[in-house]
Amino acid sequence: MPNLPSSVDIFEEGPREGFQIEKGPISTARKIEFIDAVARTGLKHIITVSFVNPKLVPGMADAEAVVAGLTMQPGVTYTGLWLNEQGLHRAIATGRLAIFGSLSASTSPRFLKRNQNRTPEEHLAAQDSILEVYKAKNIPIDRAIIAAAFGSNFDGDVTEGEVVALVQQLVDQANRHDLRLKSVVLADTMAWGTPLAVKRTVGAVQDRFPELDIVLHLHDTRGMGIANAFAGLEMGVSQFDSSVAGLGGCPFAGHAGAAGNVCTEDLVFMCHEMGVETGVDLEQLIDCARLAEDVVGHPLPGSVMRGGSLNKLRESLTHAA
């Protein structure tokens, strides 16, 4: 039988990935209501907003107002996302977010060009300048993110060796700035991953970088999200990004089939049923998933919010007996 971790840390991506892709408009008040509800479930890490160009991502134009309106729960780390120094300064200026730096690389040059209009070399160089800002401000560098770690729609398949080489590149870059990386995020950005690929790639990164924690960021476009998470658990991975209700893309709303992250409550359900602790109250989380559907105004792909938890059934059986 597999040796699963005794507990996992979950990084809730729903507000950021969800509210930036939804057609909306979703009011600032409802975003705050949702994030506040999520923060009461026991989830300890919430990526609340992204500080990006409001002309390009209108759903995030109210990022500062959302952060300002939150009722901060003790013990919960609230963070945000940015892609450049301007975004970083906006995040710092809120005065309410935990600020962690990150480095990233993409397996797919064409994806990088399309998304950030940079070559891989230009991307590395651009990071050198923000790394100096992190260093000057004593901001810890938390994550090395490998985008499209399992393949991409623009450059196709990816080998474990390519992923290991990119992680090495980011470790080297951090070292050049006297910075230490803590974790590497293997992001299945375009949902090319399978459980077998997860096992192979995680194994290769673990072998080469035993000092780095591995985080899995798994999109569910082809229905492999939970299976890929299980494969990660079997490899001892204990950190996962996920989205309440599967926020972040809706296969039923014509987003060309791209789905959000693996669904948080489905992941929590699987973990609990297998004896892996998450610290999360699943029933409250299911309520949040239903709230998410209400906020966005259409069905979201989560399963457990429809099927219901087993503990609730177990309780009703105990009462009936």
> Is residue 195 near a second copy by the rule CB under 8 A?
yes
The residue range among 11-19, 76-84, 95-103, 152-160 that interacts with a second copy, by the rule CB under 8 A, is 152-160
> Is residue 154 near a second copy by the rule CB under 8 A?
yes
Pairing of strands 101-106, 77-82: unpaired
Q: How far apart are the first and last CA of the chain?
A: 33
Tell me the two tokens of residue 4: 């699963």
Instruction: Closer to a second copy by CB, 54 or 156: give it.
Output: 156
> Is residue 263 near a second copy by the rule CB under 8 A?
yes
- Spatial separation of the C-alpha atoms in residues 8 and 270, rounded to whole Å: 12
Tell me the two tokens of residue 244: 């309440």
The residue range among 46-54, 61-69, 205-213, 222-230 that interacts with a second copy, by the rule CB under 8 A, is 222-230
> Residues 250, 263, 271, 288: which is the catalytic one?
250
> Is residue 192 near a second copy by the rule CB under 8 A?
yes
Q: Active-site residue 263, yes or no? A: no
168-176, long-range: CB < 8 A, 24+ apart: 168/208, 169/105, 169/124, 170/103, 170/104, 170/105, 170/144, 170/146, 171/144, 171/209, 171/212, 173/103, 173/124, 173/127, 173/128, 173/131, 174/103, 174/131, 174/141, 174/144
Please count the CA atoms within 13 angstroms of the CA of 201 that sit on its side-chain side: 34
The residue range among 27-35, 61-69, 99-107, 197-205 that interacts with a second copy, by the rule CB under 8 A, is 197-205
Out of 88, 130, 148, 191, the residue judged to bind a second copy by CB under 8 A: 191
> Is residue 40 near a second copy by the rule CB under 8 A?
no
Q: How many residues bind a second copy (CB under 8 A)?
A: 51
Asked, as a colleague might, if the bond just before 120 is cis with ω within 30 of 0, I would say no
Q: Give me the residues that bind a second copy (CB under 8 A), please.
A: 1-2, 4, 151, 153-157, 191-192, 194-197, 199-200, 203, 220-224, 226-227, 229-231, 251-252, 257-259, 263, 266, 269-270, 273-275, 299, 302-304, 306-308, 310, 313-314, 317
Q: Which residues are catalytic?
A: 250
